[in-house]
Amino acid sequence: MNSAFSLWFLAETKTYPHQWFFTAASIYAILMVPLAILARHGYGPIMLAAPTTHAFEMLFGFVLALIAGYLLGPMPRKKVVVFMFFWILARISGLILDMTVFSLIFNTVFVFLLAQHLLPKLWVAKKWRNRMLVPLLGLICVMAATIAMTRELDSYELQRYLLRESVQLFALLMLFMGGRMLAPAVAGEFYRQGIELEARVQPNIEAGLIVTVAGAFLLNPILPSIAGILLIACGILAMIRLIRWQLWHCSARPDLICLGIGYAWLAIGLILLGWVKLNDGQYYNSAIHAITVGALGTLAANVIVRVTLLHVKQYPSRIPQIVTFTAIMTVAAITRIAADFSGDRELLLAMAATAWSVSFLIVLMILLNCLMQKDVGFSRDKRKSVDDSAT
């Protein structure tokens, strides 16, 4: 058995990291939010009872798995196993009270491997807007290691501040990647209808999004009110960009409309976050969850399914479950935000957690179905090649 595993591990067979990391991220998303709710009542991992641990695991556990799955190209299986090994160790050690030092080590190793593999490839881009991914992803990796270190040093306030500010970095990543996914897909649908979409990537607006978020991130420690104004401007720019894509012409493409819903949540969340910064931080968590549940949850679920379906040559527009899990994620976002304004906070939090998990459970079922189809197709092709060689 050990010999078989060694042959499997050492084989130079190329594999697709998204199959591994998207599956792991979906399972993690299903479990983590309900566990955090249970931990607050003494029934889950005690580390998750702290809001900072919950936030760290969702941002730098769940989201980094998505980044790895989306941006890492085909690579030898053994490399993917190494990436996955350190990601899993980081997640497990982060939930155990006496293993925070190991969480720091494993998280640092994982983000180092990720940065080492991704940043040189992304730096070859010619346009500065495309090269923006290099410092952005590099800063996200640095933030992951730094926040893990503050947890080891018990610097709760610094950890809380860094986690809150890091949301802006992930928002910028979603603005960039979401736009790069939506623009060509919508243009393709317009072309199919015999219409030309003039506003595609919209480079001037994209540059404005980059500048406003970067400015807000840098100015917040010294001029939070200016940072708030910049975030509101960014949200308005994102909404203008979304409107110019004219998604109302894509009624036959519910998958594109669902991506647009996630992008709309992002624009709304940035406006709310800017407004909160102008009002002494009141209802900060509500604004944050508009971004992390509404935007991140919706976009992540749709991107996972879209990439997986296209990989097995299926059309996302023909999968009705996309509308279902997007609607459920919208319920999750609304109930999570409403919980901060309601006397039935615990009930609404439980409803939001349930909706979030059900949404990703549907995503996981689609993923597993695609993986099984791919395995069946691979076995069929292998048998065919054997039969051809025999004849």
* Domain identity same for 29 and 145: yes
Q: For residue 307, give both structure tokens.
A: 């990439």
| Interior/surface letters 366-375, b for 16+ CB within 10 angstroms, e for the rest | bbebbbeebe
In one letter, which amino acid is 173? L
Domain shared by 341 and 269, yes or no = yes
Which helix (H) or strand (E) segment is 85 a member of? helix 77-94
Closest CA to 112 of 178, 162, 68: 68
Residue with tokens 């299903």: 30
Cα separation, 84 vs 21, whole angstroms: 7
Confidence at residue 123, expressed as pLDDT on a 0 to 100 scale: 86
More confident residue, 86 or 152: 86
> Does residue 150 sit in the same domain as residue 172?
no
pLDDT at position 155: 85
Q: What is the pLDDT of residue 374?
A: 65
Reported confidence tier of residue 382, pLDDT bands at 50, 70, 90:
very low
Residue 3: its pLDDT value, please? Answer: 54
Question: Of 87, 119, 154, which residue is a domain's last?
Answer: 154
Beta bridge partners of 15: 75
Domain-located, residue 384: no
Retrieve residue 186's tokens.
Answer: 């919508």
pLDDT at residue 2, as a whole number: 54
8 pLDDT band (50/70/90 cuts)? very low
Is residue 118 within 8 Å of 72, Cβ to Cβ? yes
Q: Which residue range is the domain that position 68 belongs to?
A: 12-154
Confidence (pLDDT) at 290: 96
Evaluate whether residue 216 is within a structural domain: yes
User: Which residue in 58, 253, 256 sits closest to 166, CA to CA?
Assistant: 58
- Predicted confidence at residue 391, as pLDDT, reads 41
Q: Find the mean pLDDT for residues 218-222.
A: 92
The DSSP symbol for 50 reads S
Q: C-alpha 162: how far from its chain's center?
A: 18
pLDDT of amino acid 11: 56
Q: Are residues 134 and 279 in the same domain?
A: no
Do the domain assignments include residue 352?
Answer: yes
201 and 348 co-located in one domain: yes
Q: What is the pLDDT of residue 49?
A: 87
- For residue 388, being part of any structural domain is answered with no
Over 70: is that where the pLDDT of 12 sits? Answer: no
pLDDT score for 378: 43
Q: Are residues 249 and 104 in the same domain?
A: no
176 lies in the same domain as 99: no
117 and 175 inside one domain: no
pLDDT for res 5: 47
- Whether the pLDDT of residue 387 is over 50: the answer is no
In percent, the amount of the chain with pLDDT more than 70 equals: 92
- For residue 25, is pLDDT > 50? yes
- Shared domain check, 194 and 148: no
* pLDDT band (50, 70, 90) for residue 23: very high
Give the span between the Cα atoms of 240 and 245, in whole angstroms: 9
- pLDDT, tens only, 43-63: 878 888 889 999 999 999 999
User: In this predicted model, what pLDDT tens digit does every residue of 178-202 receive, in sequence order?
Assistant: 988 999 999 999 999 988 888 888 8
Examine the domain organization and report whether 192 and 338 are in the same domain: yes
**Model confidence pLDDT, tens digit, residues 70-80:** 999 899 989 99
- Residue 6: band (very low, low, confident or very high) from pLDDT cuts 50, 70, 90: low
Picking from 154, 176, 196, the residue at the C-terminal end of a domain is: 154
Domain count, the chain: 2
Residue 377 reports pLDDT greater than 60? no
Kindly tell me if the per-residue pLDDT of 361 is higher than 90. yes
**Is residue 386 assigned to a domain?**
no
Residue 386: pLDDT band by 50, 70, 90 thresholds? Answer: very low
Instruction: Say whether both 184 and 147 belong to one domain.
Output: no
Q: Which residue has the higher pLDDT, 276 or 12?
A: 276
| 306 and 214 share one domain | yes
Give me the pLDDT at residue 183, please: 92
Domain annotation covers residue 4: no
Element (H, E) at 86: helix 77-94
Note whether residue 37 is domain-resident: yes
> 52 in a domain, yes or no?
yes
C-alpha to C-alpha distance for 251 and 302, rounded to whole angstroms: 17
Q: Which residue has the tokens 């702290």?
A: 50
- Token representation of residue 208: 């404005």
Number of H helices, E strands in the chain: 16, 2
Q: Where do the H-state alpha helices sit in 123-249?
A: 128-131, 133-152, 156-192, 203-219, 224-244
Structure tokens given for 202:
């919209």
Give the residue from 154, 188, 210 where a domain finishes: 154
What is the DSSP track for 273-332? HHHHHTTTTTTHHHHHHIIIIIIIIHHHHHHHHHHHHHHTT--GGG-THHHHHHHHHHHH
Residue 84 has pLDDT above 60, yes or no: yes
> What separation in angstroms does the CA of 225 have from each of 114, 160, 217?
34, 19, 12
Mean pLDDT value of segment 238-244: 96
pLDDT above 50 for 384: no
